[in-house]
Structure 1
Amino acid sequence: MPTIRVLQVEDSELDAELVLAELDSDGITYEVCLVDDEARFVAALDEFKPHIVLSDLSMPGFSGQHALDLLRKRDEDLPFIFVSATLGEDAAIEALRNGATDYILKQNPARLASAVRRALSEADSRRASRRAEVELVRAQRFESLAMLAGGLSHDLRNLLQPLLLAGDSLQDYQDDPRLARLGKLVRDCGKRGLDMVHSMLSFARGARRAEQVRLGALFSAFGLLMQGSIPRTVTMELAIDDPELSFEGNHTELQQCLLNLCLNAIQAMPDGGHLRIETSQMDLPENFFLDEEQSRLGRYLRISVVDSGLGMDEKVLEHLFEPFFTTKEAGTGLGLLSCKRIVGSHGGVMRVDSVPGRGTRFDLYFPLEGQVSDEQMEMLDNLEGSAERVLVVVEEAGQLSLLTDTLDAYGYQAHASQSGTAALQWIEAGGLPDLVVLDADMNLFTGVRTLAALIEQGYLGGVVLLARPGASPDLHELPPLEHLYVVDKPFTTQVLLRTLRKALGGAGVGG
């Protein structure tokens, strides 16, 4: 048992020493604060922050019952044990009803130490139970949020999609600076709205979709998230070694992890300090990994969060990733556990180095096997089409018009169809296209039915499926599709065009 803080309410120093002798004989280590009046008792609750109160029943000008009443107004769980020579059976029962944890007679103090141990253990259990209840309520709120978000997200994405495509189109008018600036404004507003929708859905549902994460984009968005959270006494520095580096991951989860670590770091610097987030790449040797970790050799991205704060001792570090363990009065103890889960879900590992008074350093290691090569990025950055025939099937007229205009502007031959039936009629008249861009959310003739009909007509090329995040249609009844690419709605022009290049390249069409 670690050292406990004992607040003793007693007017007799001799009786106080006899009580503490029972703790000594049982090997309980403690710090004690002795008080005998209301003012000092209340001050000790705030300043000494006891783990347990041992109180006599009656003292000149003060009483144990009054002390108990004062404590219970502040804390329902802190153990309070009466240690008295005058406590009769009826008074003892009444004391327990009023919130006392236990009572010990001074004439028979032998069970005091065991009562103290039991009271502390039960208090810890009650606190853990309350934290679990709080987390359960929070989880239920998230479920409600997920239902609300699911209902709103489809309409929000439909509203944002024209902003993203129209903004990109307006930015192309470089000979008219006003239109270019307007295009950037429209696109940035649409992108911020898109990020908000994705973040809301990801946090509420706990969904995880793999995507190519660009380091520069990740930290650009993270910097915006941190703007309102950094106090003036703390300076934050971002040192990104390769902003163009891409790896497979999830933007929202990584931002959540970095946010948790940085907010913890800020709280560990109450008097101010320096917060540095840096990245680097390295090869990890086999002896780097712990026994319980998967030993995966190769190239890794290291993201480090370094603060100049209070630091942590060995006892805190031992329990750092335990559920509900926290050093903060209002903390849940789940932030670091969540970070470790996120890093692990990316195939990575996490390390922490901390010394009291010298700050803390968290290192997150992510494998780069899924890194996009320079050659691939160069191919994907060449977004211009070569007159490839692209069949675009979207029910909503405004989006269909924007999509086809955008593809035409980038050198594709885009053919618009507002339904699956119209798409089949176009194929019968004009032959198979080089690529199909298909909305998964069509109502009259669904995306899956349209795709099945296209395959029956002999189409085996690439398919770009425009789908709501986390709601891709069930394609198991269709024949295997070798070149199927899913794009979450709403999407930017860059994302769409890059996916088109991948789909055409995978199907062996175009350059």
Structure 2
Amino acid sequence: MLGHAEIAGDALPAQPGRAAEHIGLLVQAGGRAREIAGQILDFGRRGRSSRCTSAVDAVILETVAQIRASTPGPDTIQLSGSAEGARVGGEPAQLQQVIHNLIRNAVQASEPGAAVDVRLDPVSLTGARALTHGTLRPGAYVRIRVSDTGRGMDEATLARIFEPFFTTRPAGTGLGLATAFEFVQEHDGAFDVRSAPDRGSAFAVWLPVIPQDPGRAAAGGTVMLVGRTRRSVQDDEETLAALGYEPVGYADPEAALAVLRREPGRFDLLIVDNDLAELSGIAFAHRAARISGRPIVLSLSAPDAVQPEMLAAVPVADIVRRPWRSNALAVTLRRQLASAHPARRPAAVP
């Protein structure tokens, strides 16, 4: 990194092309250094997330969407199945890193454009089950399976895949799978790995479902969504449902206001896009606040610029930035629901 920075500095201003090339390499090296440092820090953090839980559907949807956005052939990553709203132990960011590592490894082991399958299934075990890397007790589990048709692995490689610092890639650190294995072990799960040379690989993560008592199942609350298009509203509804909320979406702000007038106490919280079809989200918030005293969260796209003094003058309790990150969104909603209903305990969303 220092070498590229020095060369870029020497090349300016006489050789801007050469400087730009080395600045690009500097950024690339910095990203790689951040990745390696993050993996080293993640490895060995056992026991720090035992009190957290994650909504599996939301974490997987977000992870797959992120990888698709950075993959030349996004349609090659195929997601199917559902965890049916199940929650598992661990921080969402850590579970996301586990799935990210598995999908990235599958993509790298495959030919360009070859399909990588990600499958979610709820599984109930009536007896103990021995997997390739761990034994499960009877109970309810979520199985997250990532499979590819790539080059596969021989038995010698399979025996070492979860060893720290073992890697078959020149640019690899050997910490991705080791960290994933540590996370799964910490939360009483197990891996089932199947592979053969030239026949692809399948990594299945089994994690026990965290039971939810019936009294907390609906504690997430009912959320009104007001968006620009029906399609965007449907996508947001899926995200909120995966986090344990009951979303009710509207692409017509006037229709949403009419519902608020009829049933002002129906919703626990409102999420409003700043860019609506017929008026701004702030204008909608002004009108909605006169009808209902529920918290209003304004959803802003990356280019949106709203001055702090403007927000201070409108009835907006908080903002969330798009693209939504499930973890940050859940924290914001939980905070606002807790302040609006201090006697009520919201669901333990991630």
What's the TM-score once normalised by structure 2's chain length? 0.51
Cα deviation, residue 142, structure 1: 5.6
Equivalent residues of 1:253, 1:342 under 8 A apart: yes
Distance of 1:385 and 1:310 partners within structure 2: 57
Cα deviation, residue 287, structure 1: 4.0
Cα deviation, residue 345, structure 1: 1.9
Residue 301 of structure 1 aligns with which residue? 142
Q: Residues 253 and 245 from structure 1, CA distance in 2 versus in 1: closer, same or farther, beyond 3 angstroms? A: same
Q: RMSD across aligned C-alpha pairs, in angstroms?
A: 4.2
Q: Residues 328 and 241 from structure 1, CA distance in 2 versus in 1: closer, same or farther, beyond 3 angstroms? A: same
Cα deviation, residue 297, structure 1: 1.7
Tell me the SS of whatever aligns to 1:340: helix
Cα deviation, residue 219, structure 1: 2.2
> CA offsets, 1:231-252, max 9 Å, x none?
3397111113245333333110
Counterpart among 504, 507, 510 of residue 343 in structure 2: 504
Unaligned runs of 5+ in 2: 1-32, 224-263, 267-288, 296-326, 346-350
Distance of 1:333 and 1:292 partners within structure 2: 18
Q: Which amino acid aligns with 2:66?
A: L
Residue 160 of structure 2 aligns with which residue? 319
Tell me the SS of whatever aligns to 1:319: coil
Q: Which amino acid aligns with 1:259?
A: H
Q: Residues 211 and 323 from structure 1, CA distance in 2 versus in 1: closer, same or farther, beyond 3 angstroms? A: closer
Residue 255 of structure 1 aligns with which residue? 96
Tell me the SS of whatever aligns to 1:238: strand
Distance of 2:330 and 2:126 partners within structure 1: 39
User: Which structure: larger Rg?
Assistant: 1
Residue 216 of structure 1 aligns with which residue? 57
> CA offsets, 1:205-249, max 9 Å, x none?
896374342233212321332034323397111113245333333
Pair 1:350-2:171 in alignment: no
Q: Residues 501 and 285 from structure 1, CA distance in 2 versus in 1: closer, same or farther, beyond 3 angstroms? A: farther
Tell me the SS of whatever aligns to 2:179: helix
Q: Residues 268 and 323 from structure 1, CA distance in 2 versus in 1: closer, same or farther, beyond 3 angstroms? A: same
Residue 178 of structure 1 aligns with which residue? none
Which range moves more in the overlay, 245-254 or 347-356?
A: 245-254
Distance of 1:140 and 1:338 partners within structure 2: 12
Equivalent residues of 1:233, 1:273 under 8 A apart: no
Distance of 1:367 and 1:377 partners within structure 2: 18
Cα deviation, residue 261, structure 1: 0.8
Pair 1:241-2:125 in alignment: no
Residue 494 of structure 1 aligns with which residue? 333
Tell me the SS of whatever aligns to 1:230: coil
Q: Which amino acid aligns with 1:378?
A: A
Distance of 1:307 and 1:351 partners within structure 2: 14
Pair 1:377-2:217 in alignment: yes
Distance of 1:363 and 1:329 partners within structure 2: 25
Q: How many residues align?
A: 218
Pair 1:361-2:202 in alignment: yes
Q: Residues 236 and 257 from structure 1, CA distance in 2 versus in 1: closer, same or farther, beyond 3 angstroms? A: same
Equivalent residues of 1:380, 1:501 under 8 A apart: no
Cα deviation, residue 265, structure 1: 0.5
> CA offsets, 1:360-416, max 9 Å, x none?
111101101x23355522243258989xxxxxxxxxxxxxxxxxx99x8239xxxxx
Q: Which amino acid aligns with 2:52?
A: E
Distance of 1:301 and 1:142 partners within structure 2: 27
Tell me the SS of whatever aligns to 1:227: helix
Equivalent residues of 2:131, 2:190 under 8 A apart: no
| Larger RCO: 1 or 2 (CA < 8 Å, sep 6+) | 2
Cα deviation, residue 353, structure 1: 0.6
Distance of 2:198 and 2:132 partners within structure 1: 30
Equivalent residues of 2:83, 2:142 under 8 A apart: no
Cα deviation, residue 342, structure 1: 1.4
Q: Residues 293 and 285 from structure 1, CA distance in 2 versus in 1: closer, same or farther, beyond 3 angstroms? A: farther
Q: Which amino acid aligns with 1:278?
A: R
Distance of 1:140 and 1:267 partners within structure 2: 17
Tell me the SS of whatever aligns to 1:289: strand
Distance of 2:34 and 2:333 partners within structure 1: 37
Identity %: 28
Tell me the SS of whatever aligns to 1:299: strand
Cα deviation, residue 332, structure 1: 1.9
Distance of 2:155 and 2:105 partners within structure 1: 18
> CA offsets, 1:393-444, max 9 Å, x none?
xxxxxxxxxxxx99x8239xxxxxxxxxxxxxxxxxxxxxxxxxxxxxxxxx
Cα deviation, residue 343, structure 1: 1.2
Equivalent residues of 1:233, 1:271 under 8 A apart: no
Distance of 2:166 and 2:328 partners within structure 1: 39
Unaligned runs of 5+ in 1: 1-136, 147-201, 387-404, 412-487, 507-511
> CA offsets, 1:431-489, max 9 Å, x none?
xxxxxxxxxxxxxxxxxxxxxxxxxxxxxxxxxxxxxxxxxxxxxxxxxxxxxxxxx99
Q: Which amino acid aligns with 2:218?
A: E
Cα deviation, residue 280, structure 1: 0.5
Cα deviation, residue 264, structure 1: 0.7
Tell me the SS of whatever aligns to 1:322: coil
